[in-house]
Structure 1
Amino acid sequence: MLRNVRVYRLEPQGLTDAEGLAAQLASRRFAPCGSQEASRAGWAEVGNEGALVMACGEYLYCKLRTETRKVPGDALRRAVDERAAQLEQTQGFRPGRKQRAELSEMVLMEMLPKAFPKDHDAEVIFDTMGRWLLVGTSSDAVSDTVLENLRHCIPNLPVRSVATVNPLAGVMREWLLGEEASGGFEMGDTLHLKGQGSVRYAGQELPFDEVRKHLEAGMVPVNLEINMGEEVSFRLMAIDDMRALSFLEKTSEEEQQAISGDQVEDFKASLVIRAGVVRRVLDALLEVCGGEVAGSCGDPSPAAELKAA
C-alpha cells in the first residue's frame, strides 16, 4: 500500500462520504473484458461486503481495476505472415499495406479470446481532511486512467494539479549546495541530475563537492532520495510524485501496535497511519517550497506536467 504516490489537490466541493462516493462510482463498476476487448477498467470491490468505497477514518479508499488481454507481438506477426502467404497464393500477388493491416486486425480479433487476461489495481485515497487525492502509482498512463474514470463517474471532478510558489527543483538545488535539507527532511544517497547529459548517484554518500560542480554547470536535480525522521523515505521526483516509499521504524511500530487480528480493520488502521505520514510529508514540502499557488489549475495530467518540466 502506498509504495508510489501521485498527488492532486482536492477542492472542498469534492468532499463526500463513503456512501455518496460509492453511489457515484457505481456507474462504472468493474466487469471483466468481453471476448473481443483488449482492455477494460472499472471500480473494484474493497473490503468484505462488496462495497466500492471503504471509509478509514478521515480517508476514503477505493481501487480502479484494469483488465487487459494482450496477444504477444511475435505470435501475432507469425499468424499474420501465415495468413498473408495464404492470401498471396489465392490472389496471385502479395498483400499490400492496407490488406496486411486488415489481416492484422482480423487475426487479432481471432486471437484475443484466447489471450490470458491480466488484472492491475490502482489504489485511490481521498484525504478528506488534508484535501488530497492520492493515486498509488508511478505511471503517467495509470494515473491518467484513474482520473479519466473518476471524471466519468464525477463529471465535475474537483481536482487540480499542485503548484508551489518556489519550484521544487530550485529547493532541492539549494539543499544540495548547502549539503543539508530543511523542513525536517534529510537527504539520502540517491540523486539524478540532468542538463547537458545525465549523472546518477546511488548506494554511497553523496559527493557534495562533485555535485556542486554539476549544479554550477547548469544541471538540475530531477530525482532525490529524502527521508522524514524515522517515518518514511522515498524518491522525490516532483511535488506531486513520490516513488519507492519505504515506511520506517516509527511508522512500522505504530502499525504493529494497531494490529487487532481482524484483516479488514488492520488494513484500515495501516492506511490511516501511512496516509497520515504522506499528508505530513506534503504539508512539509509545501512549506519548504514557499506554499501552494492559490487557485492553481489546469488539467492535472502527470504526462503533461513532466513534459512541460
Structure 2
Amino acid sequence: MWFKNLKIYRLTDPSVFDSEQLDASLARRAFKADNGLEMQSIGWISPRENGALSYTVNRQILLTVRAARKLLPATVVNQAAKARAQEIEEQEGYKPGRKQMKEIKERVTDELLPRALTVYRDTRVWIDPVNRWLVIDTASDSKADEVIGLLVKTIDPLPIENLYVAQSPAAAMTGWLAADEPPPNFTIDQDTELRASGESRAVVRYLKHSIDCDDARRHIQSGKQCTRLAMTWADRVSFVLTESLDIKRVAPLDVLEENNEDVMQNDDEKFDSDMTLMTGELAKMLAGVVEALRGEKSL
C-alpha cells in the first residue's frame, strides 16, 4: 500500500476533485482493452479492481494509471521488411526504393502488432484535497510527466503547480551535515551523497554507512554540496531527500506496522486502514519537510 517514491505537487483548487465530477472525468479517459493496433496506450483503471476509477477514504483519493506498451523490436520489423522486399524483387524484378521500403515497414508493423507481447505498468496517484497535495508514486521524471499528461487531458484546467520552498534542499542538507544538526523531529541516516559543483563533478557517496561530521565538513569546505540524504521523520517514516525535492525509498518503521496489525480486519478494512495510515503520516511528514526547508515560496 505504501508509496515508495514521491513526486510532489501542490493543489491550487482542491474543489475540482469532488468525487462525482472526478469519476465522470476519469471515465472519459479510462484504460481501454488492447485492440492490437496501438504501440502504446494509457488510461485510468480501478485502484481496487471494483470498477470505480477513484477510491476515497477520509477524503483522501487514490487513482491508478495503466500504461501499456507493445514489445516489437526494430530488428524484428527490419528483418520482416527485408524478407518482404526480397519477395517483391524476385516477383517484380526490381529492388524497392526508399519510399516503398518505408511503406513496407509500416505494413509489416501493422501485421506484427496484434501478435506482439504487451507490457503493462501501473502508477498510483494520491490526491489530498485537505492538505492540498498531489503525489505520484514514481522516482522517474518521464513517468511522472506521463501521469501529469493524462491528468491534464482528464481535468481541464488541471489545478496543480510545482512545490517551491524557500531554501533549496541541497543548501539545507549541506547545512545540516556541516552543523551536525538535523531539523527538529528528523534524524540523519546512513545514506549520503555529496557532489562538487565545479567542472570535476566529483561525487562522494556513503551507502549504509554513517558520515562522520568532520568528513562532511572537509567535503563541504572543498566545495561539495549534499545532493542526497537519508532521513527519518518522527521515528515513524524513513526516506531519502534529493536536491530536486524528490522523496525516495519511503518506508514506514516497525512501530507503525505493528500498531496497524494489532486489529483484526478483512481485506477491505485493511486496505482502508493502510490508506488512512499512509496518507495521514505522509501528509504530516511532507509538512515537516517543507517547514525544515523554511516554508513554501510563491513565485
- TM-score in same-fold range (> 0.5): yes
2:261 alignment partner, one of 256, 259, 268: 256
Match of 1:6 in 2: 7
Moved more, 41-50 or 177-186: 41-50
CA distance in 1, matches of 2:103, 2:159: 42
Q: Which amino acid aligns with 1:260?
A: Q
Q: CA deviation at 1:226?
A: 1.0
RMSD: 2.3
Q: Which amino acid aligns with 1:244?
A: R
Task: For residue 204 of structure 1, give the secondary structure of its aligned residue in structure 2.
Answer: coil
Question: Do 2:187 and 2:233's aligned partners in 1 also have CA atoms closer than 8 Å?
Answer: yes
Question: Do 1:88 and 1:95's aligned partners in 2 also have CA atoms closer than 8 Å?
Answer: no
For residues 55 and 83 of structure 1, do their structure 2 counterparts lie closer, same or farther at Cα, with a shift above 3 Å needed?
A: same
Match of 1:288 in 2: 292
Moved more, 228-237 or 44-53: 44-53
Match of 2:26 in 1: 25
Question: Do 2:85 and 2:95's aligned partners in 1 also have CA atoms closer than 8 Å?
Answer: no
Match of 2:239 in 1: 234
Whether 1:109 aligns to 2:110 is: yes
Aligned residues: 293
Q: Which amino acid aligns with 2:213?
A: F
The share of aligned pairs that are identical, in percent, is 27
Deviations 1:237-271 (A, max 9, x none): 2464111111111221232135511x122112101
CA distance in 1, matches of 2:270, 2:14: 30
Q: CA deviation at 1:92?
A: 4.8
Task: For residue 109 of structure 1, give the secondary structure of its aligned residue in structure 2.
Answer: helix
Q: CA deviation at 1:182?
A: 1.0
Question: Do 1:258 and 1:269's aligned partners in 2 also have CA atoms closer than 8 Å?
Answer: no
Q: Which has the larger radius of gyration?
A: 2
Q: CA deviation at 1:137?
A: 1.0
Which sections of structure 1, spanning at least 5 residues, go unmatched?
Answer: 297-309
Match of 1:246 in 2: 251
Match of 1:205 in 2: 210
Match of 2:151 in 1: 150
**TM-score normalised by length of structure 2:** 0.89
Q: Which amino acid aligns with 1:205?
A: S
Matches within 5 A, 1:145-184: 145-184=146-185
Matches within 5 A, 1:63-142: 63-86=64-87, 92=94, 96=98, 100-142=101-143
**TM-score normalised by length of structure 1:** 0.86
Q: CA deviation at 1:10?
A: 0.7
Deviations 1:115-163 (A, max 9, x none): 1112111111111211100111111121111111111121111100000
CA distance in 2, matches of 1:180, 1:101: 63
CA distance in 1, matches of 2:178, 2:50: 53
Task: For residue 52 of structure 1, give the secondary structure of its aligned residue in structure 2.
Answer: coil
